[in-house]
Structure 1
Amino acid sequence: MSSPRHLANRRSLLAGLGAAAVGISFSACSKPAEKATTDGAEEPKLNFYNWDTYIGETTLADFKTATGIDVNMQLFATNDELFAKLKAGNSGFDVIVPSNEFVTRMGQAGLLKALDHAKIPNMKNIDPQYLNPSFDPGNKFSVPYTWLVLGLGYRKSKFKTVPDSWKYVFDSAEYKGKIALLSESADLIRLAAKYKGVSLNNISPDMLTQIEAMLVKQKPNIRAFHEDNGQDMLQGGDVDIVIEYNGDIAQVMAEDDDIGFVVPKEGSLLNSDTLCIPVDAPRPNNAHAFINYILDAQVGAEIYKTILYPSPNAAAKALMPDDYKNNPVIFPPADILAKCEYGAFEGAEKASQFEEIITRVRAS
């Protein structure tokens, strides 16, 4: 991307502070000329639970200027972590950013508040193909924020050819000590299933046994199971190859031309990250106002220029430069995407089984 960004510095700052735990408040220096009407009973605050490097550099301060609402953002590293926080109750968060299957899971568990679409008129900006998804019919609980695909980020100078197979990270000792996998249990198992040549949904018990054995065998070659910071490990030289999302690798590719990204030939996992309101959110009106603000075309364009993830917001995408719209890392070719699938929530028992498998693998 040609637009100036400072993501590396921001990531380093957050890491130094212990980003997953720290609360970061973004306020404008000047008082807003006009404050949005939310509800007299709600204080002008909002608690936002988000992924790292997943908001525009001035979005939260700009929202404060526009509405008078002060945003406190805290970071989580996996959907498992987000789910555990919400399930424990009284999280205090007003807006959260779960991935598609966790919208289903949290909705079924009664953890999400039904959205009032009348308070989110900017939903009109969303490309219709991303509305009414199978994981949340009618967008009862969620609005789309990004869509994304997992692949391999790698340091080009360390590879003779493009590492176009999951074999490099799941079934090879060639890069021993220089491999990082992601921590998300279900995603890791599903990608391994893709490598094994089967669908990433409805994985059979026999295949799960094979996957666990393969990952246990591979464990001595793994440097880390990263906590949503795989791009940092790659950029910093800790690893030469990492499973990571396309947007995260696009961010560091813009800063380091020795970094590449590939969706392996076996296919991959698609995700959609969404904006939701917890059922016990203390400030639901502020939450609706914030979601509507993010869906504004110009606001969205500034966010996607920064985070470099694919936008489901058609009005925002229309404002983006060609080097975003035509970037094959951000928007992989159709023939590649045709081999990719969304993961479906298959029940709490299956989710727990995935978590138990990866716990055993990491302990091996």
Structure 2
Amino acid sequence: MIRRPISRRAALMGMGAVGLSFTLPKQGFAASGKVNFYNWDTYIGETTLDDFTAATGIEVQYDLFADNDELFAKLKNGNPGYDLIVPTNDYVERMIVADMLVPLDHALIPNIANIGEGFRDPAFDPGRKYSMPYMWGSIGIGYRKSAVDSPPDSWADLYTSDKYAGRLSMLADGQHVFGMALKLMGESLNDWSPENLKAAEEMVIAQKDRITAFAPDNGQDLLLAGEVDLAMEWNGDILQVMDEDDDIGYVIPKEGGMIWEDTLCIPTGGPNPEGAHALINFLLDAEVGKDIAEFIYFATPNAAARALTEESYRDNPAIFPPEDAVANSETAVYPGQDAVQRIDEAWTRVKAAG
């Protein structure tokens, strides 16, 4: 079953972070007890946890968080009892530095063999010592096809051109907005030198009068409503509105975009690391990964799972961008607290600029 994509970046939209328990009779397994799993909303297969319990006899307590900040805050002063969590790549680094994650035992995760080659040795966690890849995606440009002569192929269309003045939106996040400005400048989106940050800030301020909105996770809605023609957005969010309006497309510009990756990690102090390893291995199974990917409609890093998926998912360029676009893109690494402060200060000046 392939369902319409749901934004896992969005807030819980009034649902609240609820706990769900899936339990089937135990059938005997080396790991036992209960696994406490802390994940994003709408980010698991329809029957995945029931299937895991049926296969292993291990119960799953499933709790939801809204964003990485909530996850980090929940664990930074001590683990309240979670065995498995799903932080994004830059937060993996923060948690490693803060001694919030335990090394994985690869011998307990034989399905690591299913992971695609490009996801086996990431800069944020060399050798996959602390994390396994779960899902990935990108930041690029959503656009209305009827409003452009050709798909926008450069970040210049958003950052320096007046062609779409008053018809543009960007994410309401300084690090991402400045990061794509750095890509346009030919720099790494992880090079936060004072000179680079100053140039990015000046570029955004100079373009600000032409920008309709800095959208807090709703640029796709502005695009769907016809209020903008180009929107800097998460590909998963653009996929939502592409499903509703075939006049909407998505592209990663020639300079490259940002690749994000959500990961499976075991937090320090979890009561059942053996069960957590068992669940990680289960989630990396090819058939299980296929079902999850087709249900939540995000890009799987599981090559064996992708090979089993339906063509409409497997060959969708908004989910799996062309290889050259991915090659020019980068994964954000944690810039350090000093750089974070400088980025926040620059973003405050952008918002205050007339």
Q: Which residue of structure 1 lines up, in the alignment, with residue 59 of structure 2?
A: 69
* 1:204-215 alignment runs, 5 A limit: 204-215=193-204
Q: Which residue of structure 2 lines up, in the alignment, with residue 321 of structure 1?
A: 310
Letter in 2 for 1:38: A
- Which deviates further from its counterpart, 61-70 or 103-112? 61-70
1:217 deviation in Å?
4.4
* Contact 2:4/2:243, CA 8 A, preserved across alignment: no
* Contact 2:35/2:276, CA 8 A, preserved across alignment: no
Q: CA RMSD in A?
A: 3.2
* Contact 2:12/2:66, CA 8 A, preserved across alignment: no
1:226 aligns with 2:224: no
Q: Which residue of structure 2 lines up, in the alignment, with residue 118 of structure 1?
A: 107
Which whole-Å deviations, capped at 9, do the CAs of 1:120-170 have from their partners, x for residues lacking one?
222122234422333212211101123322211123234343233223433
* Contact 2:155/2:184, CA 8 A, preserved across alignment: yes
Distance 1:355 1:280, change over 3 A: farther
Which whole-Å deviations, capped at 9, do the CAs of 1:304-325 have from their partners, x for residues lacking one?
1123333221221221223333
Letter in 2 for 1:264: P
1:75 and 1:178 map into 2 onto residues whose CA distance is 33
- SS of equivalent residue, structure 2 residue 102: coil
* 1:55-134 alignment runs, 5 A limit: 55-66=44-55, 67-77=57-67, 79-90=68-79, 92-134=81-123
- SS of equivalent residue, structure 2 residue 232: strand
Distance 1:35 1:101, change over 3 A: same
2:74 and 2:349 map into 1 onto residues whose CA distance is 23
1:112 deviation in Å?
1.1
Distance 1:206 1:129, change over 3 A: closer
* Contact 2:35/2:84, CA 8 A, preserved across alignment: no
1:74 deviation in Å?
1.1
Letter in 1 for 2:44: I
1:307 aligns with 2:304: no
- Which deviates further from its counterpart, 169-178 or 102-111? 169-178
Distance 1:35 1:16, change over 3 A: farther
- SS of equivalent residue, structure 1 residue 260: strand
- SS of equivalent residue, structure 1 residue 17: coil
Q: Which residue of structure 1 lines up, in the alignment, with residue 27 of structure 2?
A: 34
Q: Which residue of structure 2 lines up, in the alignment, with residue 5 of structure 1?
A: 3
- Indicate the percent of aligned positions where both proteins have the same amino acid: 44
Distance 1:180 1:129, change over 3 A: same
1:119 and 1:278 map into 2 onto residues whose CA distance is 16
1:53 and 1:236 map into 2 onto residues whose CA distance is 24
1:282 and 1:100 map into 2 onto residues whose CA distance is 24
1:48 aligns with 2:38: yes
1:108 and 1:146 map into 2 onto residues whose CA distance is 23
Distance 1:175 1:305, change over 3 A: same
Give the structure-2-normalised TM-score: 0.83
Distance 1:84 1:316, change over 3 A: same
1:199 and 1:164 map into 2 onto residues whose CA distance is 18
1:114 deviation in Å?
1.4
Letter in 1 for 2:45: G
Q: Which residue of structure 2 lines up, in the alignment, with residue 157 of structure 1?
A: 146
In structure 2, runs of 5+ residues without a counterpart are: none
2:167 and 2:329 map into 1 onto residues whose CA distance is 26
* Contact 2:4/2:297, CA 8 A, preserved across alignment: no
User: How many aligned positions are there?
Assistant: 350
Distance 1:232 1:152, change over 3 A: same
- SS of equivalent residue, structure 2 residue 277: helix
